[in-house]
Amino acid sequence: MKMNLLIIFVCSLVLLATAACRSHGCSSTYWLNPDKRCRVHDELNGNLLVEYFDQDTNELLLYLQRDGRDTLIEHPYVYGTLPPRLADFQIRFDPNDPGFLVVGSERFRIVQK
């Protein structure tokens, strides 16, 4: 009986941790894998701008997330070069036009992949 309660308790903790990670924009698979990075760049009107980077494959993906659903969009780095440190690369929604992203002083149209 005590073992069953312990198993239920541990499973509940895992589910809560997963839900907490997802609520911040990053799925638990990225939270649990040290070779993958996730970063929420911006939030506007309930939309999150979430970037995933896989250090093993150098794959860099950008998603719009709303209500827990991800939509893959084109990453602005395809139009230029990344800064030396990926952490210095900040992407924001254009507050005047939600169909655009802003990187530094440049604007890029949001394009679904």
Sheet holding 106-109, edge to edge: 92-93, 100-103, 106-109
| Cβ neighbours, 10 Å, residue 8 | 10
Q: Please give the model's pTM, rounded to 2 decimal places.
A: 0.69
Helix (H) or strand (E) holding 90: none
Domain assignment of residue 51, given as a range: 2-109
pLDDT along the chain (113 residues), means of 10: 70 54 64 81 92 85 89 79 62 92 86 88
Quick one: tokens of 28? 């638990």
Number of domains the chain contains: 1
Query: So what's the pLDDT on residue 90?
Result: 82
